[in-house]
Amino acid sequence: MVICSVLALFSIFSKSMAEARERTFIMVKPDGVQRGLVGKIIKRFEAKGFKLVALKFTWPSEDLLKKHYADLAGRPFFPGLVKYMSSGPVVPMVWEGLNVVKTGRFMLGATDPKDSNPGTIRGDLCIQVGRNIIHGSDSVEAANKEINLWFEPKELIAWKPASEAWIYED
Active site residues: 135
Indicate which single residue of 77, 115, 119, 141 sits in contact with ligand IDP (rule: CB under 6 A): 77
Binding to Mg ion in span 118-157, by CB under 5 A: 138
Binding to ligand IDP in span 45-74, by CB under 6 A: 72
- Nearer to ligand IDP by Cβ, of 16 and 61: the residue is 61
Q: Name, in order, each residue with C-beta under 8 angstroms of 35's C-beta and a sequence gap of 6 or more.
A: 125, 133
Q: Name, in order, each residue with C-beta under 8 angstroms of 119's C-beta and a sequence gap of 6 or more.
A: none
Ligand-binding annotation for 105, yes or no, is: yes
- Nearer to ligand IDP by Cβ, of 59 and 77: the residue is 77
Ligand-binding annotation for 44, yes or no, is: no
Q: Within 10 A of 53 (CB to CB), how many other CB atoms are there?
A: 19
User: How many positions of this chain bind ligand IDP (CB under 6 A)?
Assistant: 9
What angle in degrees, to the nearest 10, is found between the helix axes of 100-108 and 38-48? 140
Cβ-contact 130, 85 below 8 angstroms: no
Across-strand partners of 116?
none
Binding residues (CB under 6 A) for ligand IDP: these are: 72, 77, 81, 111, 129-130, 132, 135, 138
Binding site for Mg ion (CB under 5 A): 138
Q: Which residues are annotated as a binding site?
A: 29, 77, 105, 111, 122, 132
